[in-house]
Structures are given as structure tokens and as C-alpha cells.
Structure 1
Amino acid sequence: MPRPRLARAGRVLTALNTAALYVAGFFLVLMTVIVFWQVFTRYVLGWSNSWTEITAVLLMSWFIFLGAAVGIRENYHLGFDVLLYILPKGSKKVLRTISDAVVIAFAAGMVFYGAQLVGLQWRARLPALGIPEGIRYLPLVGGGVLILLFSLERVVLRLSGTDVDKDINIEDVPDLDAVKEA
């Protein structure tokens, strides 16, 4: 892929990443408001809404999967990197590419099997909301698509020679005594 295409794809994926981050944040806030409303109506007013719990769970599913995708793109997920620090530089690229390939396979499974769940449950209805039951599984598909795209981007960038792997430089880690004094 020529560099201009790579840059254009990067801009599109950056926009997707930013949108996913903002949507996840908005859904987190909205879920918090809904849960507050549920608690308020149940314990203060003495009645409850049938729609609040399922809506909060749906919103939580979306912000979890969107947040996971953003974590993949921005390289914020936890990893077991001890081995990478003692291996030669070239092997780090290979091992991280293998790791991304595993994530791509997992994301493809999320999309494939999530789409099957959506299809299997689409005719049933969520009684509290009156919407298709398959909507419960759309976050699995949406998050899987983003994780797939972002992981594939990491592999393509790495193969093009771009450094996408953030290593902790031991010189950048603050001294514990200096942190205590501050």
C-alpha cells in the first residue's frame, strides 16, 4: 500500500477511534444517569421502571467494547512484555505481530459469532423495550469490527516500517525517592 493511502487510512481510523472514544464516554455518562434514576425512583419514590436495567446493560456493553477497541488502537492494553525486554530488537516486531494476529483472529470470531447471535435473536423482542433481542449482541459485532481494523492497522504500519510499539524506556521512569519528595 503506497504511503498516501496509508496516511488516508490512518486519518479515517483516527476519526473512527475518536468517535468510538466519545461515544463510549457519552454512553458511560448516560448509563450513570439511568442507574441514578433507577435508584432514585426505586428507593425515594417507591416504584421502578422496567426499561432502566436493560438499557443500562446495553449501554455498558457498548462502552466496554468501544473502549476495548480504543485501547487496542492506542496500545493501552496490558501485556506480558518481560520477554520482549531481553530479546533482540528484531524479535520484538515478530512477537508483537504474532500477538496482533491473535487479536485479529479473536476479533474475527467476535464479528462472525456475534453476527450469528444477532441473527438468531433478531425475531425475539426485549419485553421492557420492545426492540429486537439481537440488539444485545450488536456491541460484540461493532467492537469486533473496530478491534479487527485497529489490529490490522498495527500490523500494516509495523510492516511498512512505522514504529507502533510503545516501549517503556527505563530512563523515563521516575525515581521513587523523587516521587516521594514531590
Structure 2
Amino acid sequence: MQLRKKIDRILGRTLAIIMSIMVINVLWQVFTRFIVGSPSSFTDELARYLMIWVGVLGAAYISGKNMHVAIDLIPKKLNQKKQAKLKAFVNAIIILFCFFALVVGGSRLVYITYTLQQHSPALQIPLALVYLVIPISGLLIIFYKVSDILNKK
């Protein structure tokens, strides 16, 4: 549980930093567009990539806090033993999805964009860095769900 709390803290701070950078970036865009009259060329792209990171890492963070959207009609009708089995089954499905879609699929996307040396138009950063958040988030969600299964959360 100590490791989980540490990861929660690091992930929460990372998300707060990314959001802060995103706010400053958008404020800069508004300032350069309406005050200076010459919009900054990189801010739109940076905001887009930061939003991707916030969304995908935020999904992992919320998954770890078990605050994600869920339909709980069926579990409410079951006894506690069956609820625990259902939660373990749902967590196993989530683990499989995250492994195949986010970790494997995301890693392939990172590899392909890295191999093809694709760069963003305005920032000229490798797109592999932008897409790297997908397998990272998948691994984090898998960690959280395995932890939930082991701790019977």
C-alpha cells in the first residue's frame, strides 16, 4: 500500500503540473492573439498534447482512486461474496483490456512513430514522446487493478 500511495502522490502532482502548464500556455495564446495581435505558433499544439496527457494519465489516476464511472445496478442486487467475485472479474477484464489495448497497442504506436521519426509540426518533438503516455497509463491502471484484486478492494 505504501507504493500505491507514493504512485498516487506522484501521479497527482504530475497531473497538477501538467494542468498548470496548460493554463499558462492557453493564457499565453490568448495574450499573444488579442493583446499582441500575433498569435503564438506553438501554443495550440502544446495545449493539444498536454490535454492528451492529462486525459490519459487522469484516467489512470481516477482508476487508482476507484472514482471512475460505473453502473452499479447489478452489484447492488448481489450479496457481498458475489459482489467481491464480480469486482475481481471486472478488474480482470480491465487488466486484459489495458494490457492488450494500451500497453501492447500503445507500445506498437510509440515504436512505429519512433521508427518513422515522426515529429510534431510546430514543436518539432518526436510524436513517440506524445504517445508514450498510452502504455504508461496502461501499466498504471494494471498496477492499480492488480492491487485492488490482491487487497480485495
TM-score, reference length from structure 1: 0.78
Alignment match, 1:77: 68
Alignment match, 1:138: 132
| 1:91-123 Cα shifts (integer Å, max 9, x gaps) | 101111111111111211201111111111121
Task: Give the paired residue count.
Answer: 150
Unaligned runs of 5+ in 2: none
Supply the distance in 2 between the matched residues of 1:146 and 1:116 (Cα, whole angstroms): 18
Supply the distance in 2 between the matched residues of 1:70 and 1:19 (Cα, whole angstroms): 10
Q: Does the 8 Å CA contact 1:21/1:70 hold for their aligned counterparts?
A: yes
Moved over 2 A (4+): none
Supply the distance in 1 between the matched residues of 2:71 and 2:12 (Cα, whole angstroms): 25
Unaligned runs of 5+ in 1: 1-9, 159-163, 165-182
1:63-142 to structure 2, matched below 5 A, reads: 63-108=54-99, 109-122=101-114, 123-142=117-136
| 1:44-86 Cα shifts (integer Å, max 9, x gaps) | 2111222111211221122222221121111111111122112
Query: Which has the higher Rg, Structure 1 or Structure 2?
Result: 1
Q: CA deviation at 1:136?
A: 2.1
Matched, 1:41 2:32: yes
Which is bigger in relative contact order (C-alpha 8 A, separation at least 6)? 2
Q: Does the 8 Å CA contact 1:21/1:66 hold for their aligned counterparts?
A: no
Q: Percent identity?
A: 27
TM-score, reference length from structure 2: 0.92
Q: Counterpart of 1:79 in 2: which secondary structure? A: coil
Alignment match, 1:22: 13
